[in-house]
Amino acid sequence: MDYTIKLNSGYEMPLVGMGSWLGKDEEVKFKNFQQMKLTEINIEMEKIMSDAFDAGYRHIDTAFLYGNQKGIGKGILKVITDGKILRDDIFVTTKIWNTSHTYARAKEAIYENLRQLGLDYIDLMLIHWPMAFKEGDDIFPLDSNGKVIEGEGHFFEAWKALEDSIEEGHVRSIGVSNFNHKQIERLLEKAKIRPAVNQVEMHPYYQQKKLRDYCKEKGIIVTAFSPLGSPGDTNFRNKQMPNILTDPVLAEIAKKHGKSPAQVALRWAVQNGVIVIPKSANPGKFENMSSLY
């Protein structure tokens, strides 16, 4: 089995990457995310990066929203400076946020991501979500009723900025995240460059077959976030939801092959041509999640 998959941009992307949303499940809670000191998040992430690279990860997924790009950038710089890994052997995915969907704001967001990461180029830049929020410094701009204020920008404008960033040499591949097939269809009507990737939630309990088939038809690779169903997430998952890691069918398959249920779930996705970005802040789990072959 291959360890990478070729994107329609011509670049190779590792099939297994490290997700970095919020760092440690047990220490960082979504409801307190905006109040957390970004310094703490980045110090934590710099250490996690060292452990991830030691375990063999070469694909890192992040985003402006996560607030951890400086720590990730420092972790990348250290392994390069120490002569352990070449920059061309590391694949970095990041995303522009919903408040940056106008052309001008999207361009600013691209440069800000580069600045925070301390990189000369980004391997893959995504539009994080198809919807636009009001421009400004608030990540989640709310009205007096507590509802998100919609922005004037459109993902068409943000996409044009991403296309131009390829021509300028700042980004190698571009894609989308959380787009359904109708939104991709609309984008393809105007796009000069076809999306290389669509990153969406996908796991054995939420297989996204129709969307995967559509993306395959259009030459778009699917990346699965939450490929294990986010069993430790108490913010978006209630206790009544089934846990992939304790699923009896996966447990039986895992026992037969001398693997863990997590490895079976990830291998299932990879064998279907889907990139996976499991998240863990536990160094002991890094090798478990990357040893799928």
**Which of 3, 66, 214, 293 is an active site residue?**
66
128 assigned binding-site residue: yes
Cα–chain center distance at 190? 24
CB contact set of 186 (below 8 Å; sequence gap of 6+): none
CA distances (Å), origin 64, targets 76, 97, 245, 272: 17, 6, 29, 29
Is 66 tagged catalytic?
yes
**Residue 174 CB burial class (10 angstroms; 0-12, 13-18, ≥19):** buried
Say how far apart CA 83 and CA 63 lie, in whole Å: 26
Tokens 């064998």 sit at which residue?
Answer: 271
For residues 231 and 284, what is the distance between their CA atoms, to the nearest angstrom?
17
β-bridge partners, 221 = 197
Q: What SS3 state is found at 235?
A: coil
Q: Which two tokens stand for residue 199?
A: 């990153």
**Interstrand relation of 275-276 and 12-14 (parallel, antiparallel or unpaired):** unpaired
Q: How far is it, in rounded angstroms, from Cα 150 to Cα 258?
A: 50
- Phi–psi pair at 70, nearest 5 degrees: -65, -40
DSSP state of 147: P
Tokens, residue 249: 């069918």
Residues with a known catalytic role: 66
Residues making up the annotated binding site for substrate are 128
Residues making up the annotated binding site are 128
